[in-house]
């Protein structure tokens, strides 16, 4: 199994003056699910190199067994520091793709042409795609072969409006994933705030929030083994 993980390169939280980026748990948990399943994992980001880490994901109450494993894993930390440039990645070289969240993807991966075309290529090749929390923002402009939104008529999830309100960023984010998916004709689903909730629609796996990252990654592995 060759799995591509796509991380954000965006580090500014709107006009707040605060930093953002990717959420550590949403990278670490899937990374080790994939590695422990025997997969070869390639990391990429729009700018390449070290992707920005949301500093809030380093808070003590955000730590898990996976994040602690990552901090003691020199090989993983080195791989993260040297992500490949997203423009150089091609669907044909991978069996699946996974997008961790953090608020960063709302600004770059949602609008990045390479990110969009990559997702469209995986969709056309009927290869599994996994996206968690704010990672599903990358689906915003992706289109099917017929030109309709890739999420149209599909069951999907992502960070909910109530969760965004709880972290007091509803007025900061460029768009709401929940509202945008509904506007695009997606069948948006959600579970209780902060609980693990994963939706599988064909080869598309989406997870609602950080707690969903492990389950979403396991679902992707199951699709690869089917």
By C-alpha distance, which of 221, 215, 198 is closest to 37?
A: 221
Query: In the chain, which residues have pLDDT < 50?
Result: none
Under a CB-based contact definition with an 8 Å cutoff, are residues 137 and 184 in contact?
no
pLDDT value at position 226?
A: 87
Q: How far apart are CA 130 and CA 60, in angstroms?
A: 27
pLDDT value at position 30?
A: 98
3-state DSSP assignment of residue 198: strand
CATH of 2-225, one of 3.40.50.300, 3.40.50.880, 3.20.20.140, 3.90.1150.10: 3.40.50.880
Domain boundaries, the chain: 2-225
DSSP string for 148-163 = SBTTTT-EE--S-HHH
pLDDT value at position 36?
A: 98
Interhelix angle for 213-225 vs 24-36, to 10°? 30
Q: Residue 210: is it exposed, middle or buried by C-beta count within 10 angstroms (0-12/13-18/19+)?
A: buried
Number of C-beta neighbours around residue 174 at 10 A: 13
Close Cβ partners of 49 (under 8 Å, ≥ 6 residues apart): 81, 82, 83
Which residue's entry shows tokens 């390169």? 9
3-state DSSP assignment of residue 5: strand
By C-alpha distance, which of 89, 91, 103 is closest to 135?
A: 103
Q: pLDDT tens across 193-209, in order?
A: 999 999 999 999 999 99
């Amino acid at each position: 199994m060759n799995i591509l993980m796509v991380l954000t390169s965006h580090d500014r939280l709107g006009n707040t003056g605060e930093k953002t980026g990717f959420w550590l748990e949403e990278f670490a948990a899937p990374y080790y699910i994939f590695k422990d399943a025997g997969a070869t994992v390639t990391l990429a980001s729009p700018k390449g190199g070290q992707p920005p880490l949301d500093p809030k994901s380093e808070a003590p109450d955000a730590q898990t067994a996976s994040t602690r494993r990552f901090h003691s894993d020199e090989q993983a930390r080195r791989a993260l520091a040297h992500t490949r440039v997203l423009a150089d990645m091609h669907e044909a070289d991978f069996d699946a793709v996974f997008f961790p969240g953090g608020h960063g993807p709302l600004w770059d991966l949602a609008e990045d042409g390479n990110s969009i075309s990559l997702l469209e290529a995986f969709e056309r090749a009927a290869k599994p795609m996994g996206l968690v929390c704010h990672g599903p923002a990358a689906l915003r402009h992706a289109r099917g072969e017929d030109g309709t939104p890739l999420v149209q008529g599909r069951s999907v999830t992502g960070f909910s409006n109530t969760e965004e309100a709880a972290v007091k960023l509803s007025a900061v984010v460029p768009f709401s994933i929940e509202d945008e998916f509904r506007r695009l004709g997606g069948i948006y689903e959600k579970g209780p705030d902060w609980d693990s909730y994963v939706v599988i629609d064909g080869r598309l796996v989406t997870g609602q929030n950080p707690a969903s990252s492990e389950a979403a990654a396991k679902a992707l592995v199951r699709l690869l083994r089917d």
